[in-house]
């Protein structure tokens, strides 16, 4: 049977794995499902149709699965899905999805959401993502795997952040940030490649060299983006990392940070 502090209020319809721990003064609503080994600190509120996977740690005063901050929301049955092995720190907030946005907010596995971070409705977060303290993601943001957000970074709604990107602290991102890149500035601009992150995740020197070559053609040569994409494909067509970068850019709806 789950270990529940006597002061916690847990709805009888909530589904808890027997190994779950619920701390003092928590509130757990009827639509909540919590997986094996997950620990909930004190004063945590879990509500809505919220599913939390295995071995997560939720620290005090975070709010998980509350209704989206969207004036169009009228109580439709939307949900929040959280994977395994995440750390969700003090005062973090994650809101469930909206009907217009597909109905689900999704957090991957092995992510760190530091104190005072915010993940809005319909955000999709990949695996291994880090949000430093105060970072905030507006609605409908798509974040691929292993992205790092510096403290107080802000991401505009519907923007996409490519895998292994690094967003510097205090940056305001209004357009898509391509994979492997570093973006920095009050109105964020590209500041090079996240080579340290690529090395830490096992990219070889040759792989990094090819990504660097693609970056230079796409963002540092004086040519149109379509022409640059064609040149990169002609030169580096067999590299899967480069191809992912090109497809990400081609799929942009908001425009690409440059």
Inter-helix orientation angle 205-219/225-236, to 10°:
150
Rounded to whole angstroms, the Cα distance separating 115 from 135 reads 9
Q: Active-site residue numbers?
A: 121-122, 139
Rounded to whole angstroms, the Cα distance separating 53 from 32 reads 11
Vertex 233: Cα angle to 232 and 236 (nearest 5)? 75
3-state SS string for 214-244: HHHHHHCCCCCHHHHHHHHHHHHCCCHHHHH
Paired tokens of 148: 């790092």
């Amino acid at each position: 049977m789950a270990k529940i502090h006597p002061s916690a209020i847990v709805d009888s319809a909530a589904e808890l794995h027997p190994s779950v721990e619920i701390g003092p003064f928590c509130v757990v609503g009827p639509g909540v499902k919590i997986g094996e080994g997950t620990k909930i600190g004190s004063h945590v509120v879990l509500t809505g149709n919220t599913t939390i996977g295995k071995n997560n740690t939720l620290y005090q005063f975070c709010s998980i699965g509350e209704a989206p901050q969207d004036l169009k929301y009228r109580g439709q049955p939307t949900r929040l899905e959280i994977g395994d092995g995440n750390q969700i720190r003090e005062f973090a907030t994650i809101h469930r999805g909206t009907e217009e946005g597909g109905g689900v907010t999704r957090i991957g596995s092995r992510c760190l959401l530091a104190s005072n971070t915010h993940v809005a409705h319909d955000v999709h977060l990949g695996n291994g993502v880090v949000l430093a303290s105060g970072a905030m993601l507006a609605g409908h943001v798509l974040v691929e795997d292993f992205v790092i957000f510096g403290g107080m970074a802000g991401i505009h709604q519907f923007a996409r952040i490519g895998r292994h990107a690094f967003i510097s602290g205090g940056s305001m991102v209004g357009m898509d940030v391509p994979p492997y890149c570093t973006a920095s500035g009050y109105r964020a601009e590209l500041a090079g490649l996240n080579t340290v992150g690529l090395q830490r995740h096992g990219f070889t020197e040759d792989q990094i060299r090819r990504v660097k070559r693609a970056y230079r053609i796409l963002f540092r040569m004086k040519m149109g983006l379509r022409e640059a994409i064609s040149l990169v494909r002609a030169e580096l067509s067999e590299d899967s990392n480069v191809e992912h970068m090109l497809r990400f850019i081609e799929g942009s709806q908001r425009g690409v940070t440059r």
